[in-house]
Amino acid sequence: MSADIDQLALIVDEAALEARGVEQLTIQNPELTPAEGYEIQARAFSMRLARGEKQVGIKMGLTSRAKMIQVNVSEVIWGRLTDAMRVEDGGKIDRKRYVHPRVEPEVAFLLKRALSGEVSPAEAMLAVAGVAPAMEIIDSRFNDFKFTLPDVVADNASSSGFVIGPWTEPGADLTNRGMVMEFDGRPVQIGSTAAILGDPVRSLVAAARMVGKAGLELKPGWIVMAGAATAAQPLVPGVYVRNTVEGLGSVAFFVGAA
Ligand code: OOG
Ligand code: MG
């Protein structure tokens, strides 16, 4: 193998810790593959766990056309979530902890059973304890938010934080729920859950398949973020951010003044 996985993991981990933009890994390592990207992600994640963080789920990324177009990467990807990345619903984030944060309107699943490998949408839904309106704070550690597929995978799929609203029992169809994300009450992104692979449950199916391929499973109690329904919106200091999903309610947080 050409790339030094440990050394590249250290670069993305330190960049995230210090909220400092770094050069894309593929500039020095043009041969880097997506599979190596996932190895780097896993290695960097083990550094977070060694600091005491606990895995609480995963995030799916690039599950909508709007997102693929925004970052010019056309593959569904996944990353890992820890307890330290969670922002309380209605809570406040400190802008200084991020390089160039953006926020995305999402929905989240809470699992009551393990899932791994090939499952049908119906099987996936049987493992779901709740669905919730959610937002993800993404913050690519790469300069100018520019990356290729192996880079963004190595960088934990840009994940930096997540906010979960009230859980609703699953059951009702999730295919075409309107979503509105507002900054101080002004709509900044408007979309539908249909933009997420046609139905967010397909994102959960893809999550089970992708972690299964990595020899892992989605665990009971975990959260799975389905991916953004719209393009991500750059965060602004001092703003109140809210995402409302039709039939599921709202989730919100504040950005501290700069
Ligand atoms: C990659 C992560 C994309 C989503 O919800 O589509 C993502 C990025 O845009 O930096 O989280
Ligand atoms: Mg996302």
Mutate which of 158, 193, 230 to test ligand 1's pocket (most atoms within 8 Å of Cβ)?
158
- Is 5-255 a CATH 3.30.530.20 domain? no
Whether the per-residue pLDDT at 1 is higher than 70: the answer is no
Q: Does ligand 1 come within 6 angstroms of the Cβ of 104?
A: yes
Mutate which of 74, 104, 147, 210 to test ligand 1's pocket (most atoms within 8 Å of Cβ)?
104
Mean pLDDT of 167-185: 94
Q: How far is the CA of 166 from the centre of ligand 1 (A)?
A: 23
Q: How far is the CA of 112 from the centre of ligand 1 (A)?
A: 25
- CA-proximal residue: ligand 1, atom 9 (nearest): 71
What are the extents of the domains in the chain? 5-255
pTM above 0.95, yes or no: yes
As a whole-number percent, the residues of the chain with pLDDT over 70 amount to 99
pLDDT (0 to 100) of residue 257: 87
- Asked if 60 and 203 touch (Cβ cutoff 8 Å), the reply is yes
Query: Which residue, among 20, 2, 11, has the nearest Cα to 143 in the 3D structure?
Result: 20
pLDDT (0 to 100) of residue 142: 98
Summarize pLDDT for 75-111 with one digit per residue, the tens. Answer: 999 999 999 999 999 999 999 999 999 999 999 999 9
Q: Which string of DSSP letters, residue by residue, matches 122-189?
A: HHHHHTEEEEEEEEEEE--SBGGG---HHHHHHTGGGEEEEEE---B-S-S--TT-EEEEEETTEEEE
Summarize pLDDT for 182-204 with one digit per residue, the tens. Answer: 999 999 999 999 999 999 999 99
